[in-house]
């Protein structure tokens, strides 16, 4: 994949679940739905928050409290939104994720500027 792909094109690639995620979705659908609605609430909360300095720390605390084997799609949207809208360095956030997600987030972040 070329890094010069647009932000929306990159996101479409990450919507597709891996085989492990697909199997776990079949085995535990309620857990995934709960996780999806939780992240949807967080996404709306970020957009509706008034003070950026406050909701950044809240967002980081909530993400740290959510333990999951895979980074949810909406978390990528949240991080991208915070980085682009408020000029927050992605390096402030990638330390809380496993290494593979650091690469995914950085590739999405870089593609938005190319």
- Sequence ranges of the domains in the chain: 15-111
Which tops the pLDDT comparison, 18 or 34? 34
Query: To the nearest whole number, what is the mean pLDDT of the chain?
Result: 47
Chain centre to alpha carbon of residue 2: 20
pLDDT at 24 over 50: yes
- pTM summary value: 0.25
Mean pLDDT of the 85-91 span:
49
Chain centre to alpha carbon of residue 18: 16
Mean pLDDT of the 91-113 span:
46
Angle at 64 between CA 37 and CA 49, to 5 degrees: 60
pLDDT at 1 over 50: no
């Amino acid at each position: 994949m070329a890094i010069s792909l647009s932000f929306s094109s990159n996101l479409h690639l990450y919507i597709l679940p891996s085989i492990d995620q697909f199997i776990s979705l079949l085995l535990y659908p309620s857990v995934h739905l709960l996780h999806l609605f939780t992240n949807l609430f967080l996404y709306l909360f970020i957009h509706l928050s008034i003070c950026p300095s406050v909701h950044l720390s809240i967002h980081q605390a909530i993400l740290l409290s959510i333990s999951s084997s895979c980074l949810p799609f909406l978390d990528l949207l949240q991080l991208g939104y915070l980085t682009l809208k408020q000029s927050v360095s992605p390096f402030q956030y990638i330390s809380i994720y496993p290494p593979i997600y650091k690469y995914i987030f950085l590739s999405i972040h870089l593609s938005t500027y190319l």
